[in-house]
Amino acid sequence: MATTFSKNIRSTLASSFINSLIYSCTIPFLVIYLAGIFNAQLTGLLVMTNVVVSFLAGIVGGYLADNFQRKKILYIFQSLYGGSLLLIALRFLGLLSADGWLILGYLVCGISFNLYSPAYDAVLMDCTTVENRKQAYQWQYWTFNLSMALGFSLGGFLFQHFLFQLFLVAGIAQLAMALLFRSQLDYTNATAQKQHNNRLKDLFSNYSIAARDTRWLFLILGMALFNTAEFSLKTYTAVRLSKEFETLTLFTVPIDGVRMLSLLQVLNTLLVVGFTFLVSRFTEKRSEKATILYGLVIYVVSYGLIAVMNNIYILIPLMILATIGELASSPNINARKVDLVPEDKQASYLAFSSLSYQGADLLAAFALTLSGYISAGFIAGYIIILGLIGTSLTVSSLYGRKNKVM
């Protein structure tokens, strides 16, 4: 049970839950708002810019987490994240007139979030032991998905009429959480010795080893390609549903495109939370390789079709199928990829692996830009083709020959 964890673990899990909740009820809906005031091409370029700067921030954040006190890093950049949410709220209130303030707030949110995220991971890893680490990460996975469900629900139902209040409360909550976490966390970390006097050289040396491992590189590329399918739900599919989905009434509740998106996200999250262990039990006696392969194919094709559908009675079954594919493949991939990591290079490899998610974000944002020139059917094809290529690369990397380092 979570009550058996140390105070530091409980504080880290609680803070992580609040941060994920704040993110999920604000940033995806800010992208939808930006798509309403800018065209699809410009919004897509803006999202891609945010992905690039966020990835670079994550690389810097990983270096900072190894070379400076993580508690201080968490407080500084969590506070900056809260301040950027308040900046966006002031624009929605009308105190700031230019839309450029929204763009600035959006970019600062992405940068600050990725600057402190590596420190979170490192603190949790440091505070756990061999005996409770698996349980701690299970709770982190559970609370993350629960926060996503709650956040998308809040954001979807407050987006249309309470946007200022949503970002104001989120900003205040983020600042309060930064202060509270700082006071509750009793933690000091050892810092790494500099390998070079030049900080920039020192940063790049941390990641150079993983970057030369071709098998690891193909795995990261494959994961980026198949994750594009799900990540497109937050960008291209979100914008398309907000514009094309015809409002209907479900149990006396009006469901527009934004609420349909929230419904899909909540359904996905609740299925993950409720059926993770059931699906795992069903697949554990089957071929691991086949489970990953078929699970990824179902996952990719389902999300690709979601990108083009507008019927709630088709969208919901497709989301159920996509989630089943995710539950069948994701735990096995995460367990198997650890075998590819040299024991003395874990930090470098795992830090480098974040590129798969940033790459997926970038490819999903590119789909939004493409939507200004091609139809939804071609976008669905783009998502499915990339996903199937990624599936092939992932399976061949996980079950291919031993690592080859360039």
- Taking 50 as the threshold, does the pLDDT of residue 23 lie above it? yes
Q: Each residue of 198-216: pLDDT tens digit?
A: 666 666 666 676 677 888 8
pLDDT at 203: 64
Residue 224's φ and ψ, nearest 5 degrees, are -65, -40
Q: Where are the domains of the chain?
A: 1-185, 198-405
Which pLDDT score, from 0 to 100, does residue 330 have? 81
Dig out the tokens for 353 from the structure. Answer: 């692996």
Among 159-173, 328-342, 390-404, where is mean pLDDT lowest? 328-342
The chain-wide mean pLDDT, for the chain, equals 84
Between CA 92 and CA 86 the distance in angstroms is 10
Summarize the confidence of residues 173-189 as an average pLDDT. Answer: 90
Residues 180-193: what's their mean pLDDT?
80
The tokens describing 154, both together, are 């809040």
Q: What pLDDT, in 10s, does the model give residues 231-261?
A: 998 888 888 888 888 888 878 878 888 888 8
Q: Which two tokens stand for residue 24?
A: 């999920």
Percentage of residues of the chain with pLDDT beyond 70? 88
Q: Report pLDDT for 26.
A: 94
Does this chain's domain 1-185 share its CATH topology with 198-405? yes
- The burial class, CB within 10 Å (0-12 / 13-18 / 19+), for 342 is middle
Which residue type sits at 372?
G
Report how far residue 303's alpha carbon sits from residue 383's, in angstroms, rounded to the nearest whole number: 8
Return the half-sphere exposure (C-beta side, CA atoms, 13 A cut-off) of residue 298.
Answer: 20
H or E element in which residue 361 lies: helix 355-370
Question: Looking at residue 317, what is its pLDDT?
Answer: 96
Q: How confident is the model at residue 344 (pLDDT cuts 50, 70, 90)?
A: very low
pLDDT (tens digit per residue) in 92-151: 998 888 888 999 999 999 999 988 888 887 788 778 776 776 677 767 777 887 888 788
Q: Residues for the chain: how many in total?
A: 406
pLDDT in tens, 58-97: 878 877 877 788 899 999 999 999 999 999 999 999 888 8
* Residue 164, pLDDT score: 92
For the 198-405 domain, the top CATH level (class) is mainly alpha
The CATH homologous superfamily of the domain defined by 1-185? MFS general substrate transporter like domains (1.20.1250.20)
Query: Do the beta carbons of residue 303 and residue 383 sit within 8 Å?
Result: yes
pLDDT at 281 over 70: yes
- Please answer whether residues 184 and 363 qualify as being in contact, where contact means their C-beta atoms are separated by less than 8 angstroms: no
More reliable by pLDDT, 350 or 170: 170
**Mean pLDDT in residue range 255-282:** 83
Q: Which residue has the higher pLDDT, 285 or 192?
A: 285
Residues 6+ apart with CB under 8 A from 335: none
**What mean pLDDT comes out for the span 17-37?**
90
Q: What share of the chain is helix, strand, coil (3-state, %, to 5)?
A: 80, 0, 20
In Å, the largest CA–CA distance within the chain is 65
Amino acid at 164: F
Torsions phi, psi for 97 (to 5 deg)? -90, -35
